[in-house]
Amino acid sequence: MEVIAKYYVETDLSIEKAAEAIAAEQSTGTWTEVEREKLTSDLAARVVRAEGNFAYIAFPEELFEPGNIPQYLSVVAGNLFGLGDLKKVRLLDVIFPQTLVLAHKGPRFGIKEARKILGVFDRPLVGTIIKPKVGLSPEETAVVAGQAVRGGLDLIKDDETLTDQSFCPIDERVVAVMAELSKVEDETGKKAFYAVNVTCGAEEILDRAEDVIGCGANMVMVDVLTAGFSALEVLSRGVKVPIHVHRTMHGAFTRDRHHGISMVPISRLVRMAGGTNLHTGSYLGKMAGDMEENDQCRDALRDDWYGLRPVFPVASGGVHPGNVRPNLEGYGNDCIVQAGGGVHGHPWGTTGGARAMVQAVEAWKAGSSAEEYAKSHKELDAALKFWSS
């Protein structure tokens, strides 16, 4: 069996020569002849196809240490980015054989399990990020979280930059937020996740997650590209709550459509490592991605894949009630649509913004335009007028 990697390449070489250079650099080759190379030919990567700007490279499965995602990346996304003959190169996708996929357990909590906890089965989930991004005390954070859930939201999350700073200690924050969410649930029956950002060093991350769960947290969050895929995998195997995965720093890899790494292999690795939700880009918003790439991420997270549980794609970044529809048309029912400023910036405040987001999702589910639905839903009507001005 082989691992097949697809690359986009810009070079003055022929695409065939460029593909051969990638295959050599990432497997058994070196810049000068070494006699021992003759003994390792069975481990050499090979060019499957090279045409236009695209190269497909097959790597023998034996090159990979099963269960070791950092090592996988060193093969398919290693020194090739530094090859002088390649002006640009982008890892577009990786197809892993069953043995490597199943060396990982995948999500402990997938879409089905997360929905069961919330008791929400028939619509997309709706979430928000606490705003301002940082600076609120634990008590202030709890107030904002409670306001959002009173408006009907399913998920509240920390910002990617908020961890355990002195102005908002993580244990105090969790206790305050979960107490407020419990109060809201008692009053309204509405359940919600609070994704607590436990991102930190490798030696501490599991202990930190266990500590916040002991304080009542029902979901944890990790910045997977700064903490590492192994950190996510440690959390997935070690904690018994769902895991929200943020992709902060992804633009360093994904923004240049002709260089770096696309979100598609990142999506595959997050599913293997055990995330429940993953930010994959919006179809419309300030961080809107390439629609075809969004589609591929969606499918990588949700399609049948050797029995691994499916993962929620998350649309976020500049999302508000007025652009919910194109995001749901792209991701479908099994997704999370998430708004920060698009909730808290509502002219009637956080609860009004939350209700407007929920109403926008309801309009999509009912097959109605947001404008038509807004005629009988005042929060949505106010939102559409506010964000269209």
Q: Using one digit for the tens of pLDDT, what is the confidence trace for 217-275?
A: 999 999 999 999 999 999 999 999 999 999 999 999 999 999 999 999 999 999 999 99
List every span in the chain annotated with CATH 3.20.20.110: 111-388
> Does 246 participate in catalysis according to the annotation?
yes
Q: Which of 6, 104, 190, 246 is catalytic?
A: 246
The one-character DSSP state at 309 is P
DSSP-H helix ranges across 168-321: 170-188, 205-214, 224-227, 229-238, 251-254, 263-273, 291-302
Give the pLDDT of residue 245.
98
Give the pLDDT of residue 11.
97
What architecture is domain 111-388? Alpha-Beta Barrel (3.20)
- Provide the pLDDT confidence category of residue 33 given band limits of 50, 70 and 90: low
The verdict on domain 2-101 having CATH code 3.30.70.150 is yes
- For the segment 44-70, the average pLDDT, to the nearest whole number, is 97
Residue 93's region, left for phi above 0, alpha for psi from -120 to 50, else beta, is beta
Nearest Cα residue to 106 out of 275, 241, 297, 274: 274
- Provide the pLDDT confidence category of residue 289 given band limits of 50, 70 and 90: low
* pLDDT tens-digit readout, 191-223: 999 999 999 999 999 999 999 999 999 999 999
Q: Provide the edge-to-edge strand list for the sheet that holds 54-60.
A: 46-51, 54-60, 2-11, 86-95, 260-261
Nearest Cα residue to 267 out of 314, 307, 227, 219: 314
- For the segment 359-387, the average pLDDT, to the nearest whole number, is 97
Give the pLDDT of residue 288.
64
Q: How far is CA 216 from CA 181, 196, 211, 258, in A?
A: 11, 10, 9, 44
- pLDDT mean across residues, the chain: 95
> Does 131 participate in catalysis according to the annotation?
yes
Burial of 375 (0-12, 13-18, 19+ CB in 10 A): exposed
Give the pLDDT of residue 344.
97
Burial of 54 (0-12, 13-18, 19+ CB in 10 A): middle
List every span in the chain annotated with CATH 3.30.70.150: 2-101
d(CA 278, CA 226): 14
Give the pLDDT of residue 74.
97
Give the pLDDT of residue 38.
54
- Assess whether pLDDT exceeds 70 at residue 317: yes
- Give percent above pLDDT 90 in the chain: 92
Q: Which of 104, 131, 244, 346 is catalytic?
A: 131
